[in-house]
Chain A
């Protein structure tokens, strides 16, 4: 039996669209079309210049996957009350059973950078603004909520201490692809981290305004 979409079973919007009685010829035609036996030579007639190159194909595939993942993550939202930003990202990602490399791949960063992001509060404040915007967009998270969560992370980490001294990026990772600051080592102290966070929020707000993303600029009602 052939598959038919539910949307095709709607009430006909044209008086002649009522279901028609089908004959054996209709069934044979349908079968032949579906098997490709009556296909035209359309594909061979499409000029070469209208073909699509591999890089664009990959970009479009990522866009499609991002659209689906956005819905997936949206459906798995959890409160941010008791967790800092990186913890929240990990919590939501784990909840929908999506791997670190799948998320990092769609964001265009090394998976090891993503893992660092989920590991330490201070590293979050060192994010490149454009990557931060991509994360907010993928997780559909408004900037004010993310900022509050990041501040919470800094507060939980204590003041005056040096964070993440030993969590430098692996030497073969392009650190600056995802983070500002010195490659391989983070020596920011808490006050410095707060300043970094201020800078990040300011730059991100400007980017979102430039992109017209008012949905991510303000706290959502829920």
Chain B
């Protein structure tokens, strides 16, 4: 789980950036201790149905071996501890995609055909796979909708939300509430995360989930639109001045706000 940097993290980063290659190599062992389980589980999270635990372990190890070789060759440059985690996750994800392509070259070839079209064509060209994707996940989303209770803004009292760490700002709380209200599938959540943190291209997301790059882009756009709508619906609980500040802060135009 990502977390805020600590003094220990700062020490690890300093060691990874050391001028002594042996010290950087030793630090790579510490990186393994801290992040291997995280990366391994993330791989299983991405591809639980197509990836066995043993293969996930191998891919995660491959990512760490590359990292160890790279930090020995030159100092690692990162200012935040999640730079290391993101780096490892990206390496693992790319290795995962490579293996998926090896297993199913036909699918990779089909995606290359999709990409040979223009951006707009590619977006529509992915509809066949998009339908397949939708059928996979619509049932899950439907089930979630059926079981969905009336949600509400997270309470401002930390005691009422004791199981979740209280966000630092009202803006964060609002976005979290709007995000939770969407009840996204795992894949949708990951598409948003990978794009929001800028750690994956649309093509990488497409390879990861067996969809076209065009569809990945379209889906990300749809998800963000749904999130904006969800935020706007929550704004009705704020007074006009507060809502205006929040809209400006998030860059959401007023014409999207639903009528009361």
Contacts and interface: CB of A to CB of B under 8 A. Distances in A.
B3 A36 contact: yes
Given A4-B198, A28-B250, A37 B176 contact: yes
A14 B115 contact: yes
A81 interface: no
A69 B25 contact: yes
A40 interface: yes
A15 interface: yes
Chain A at the B interface: SS class:
helix
Contacts of B41: 42-43, 46
B240 interface: no
A72 B72 contact: yes
Contact of B224 (A2, A25, A37, A71): A25
Given A34-B2, A52-B57, A63-B61, A28 B115 contact: no
Given A35-B2, A61-B33, A52 B193 contact: no
Nearest to B217: A16
B65 A16 contact: no
Contact of A30 (B189, B196, B201, B231): B196
Nearest to B115: A14
A97 B19 CA distance: 12
Contacts of B228: 25
Contact of B203 (A3, A13, A35): A13
Contacts of A38: 176, 179, 189, 193
Interface string B10-27: 000000000011100110
B202 A16 contact: yes
Counting contact residues on chain A (CB < 8 A from B), the size range is 35 or more
Contacts of A64: 28-29, 32, 61, 64-65, 68
Nearest to A2: B80
- From B22, B69, B80, name the one whose CB has the most chain A CB atoms within 10 angstroms: B22
Contacts of A5: 86-87, 90
A17 B53 contact: no
B171 A28 contact: yes
A15 B213 CA distance: 9
A212 interface: no
A75 interface: yes
Interface string A65-85: 101110110010000000000
A23 B172 contact: no
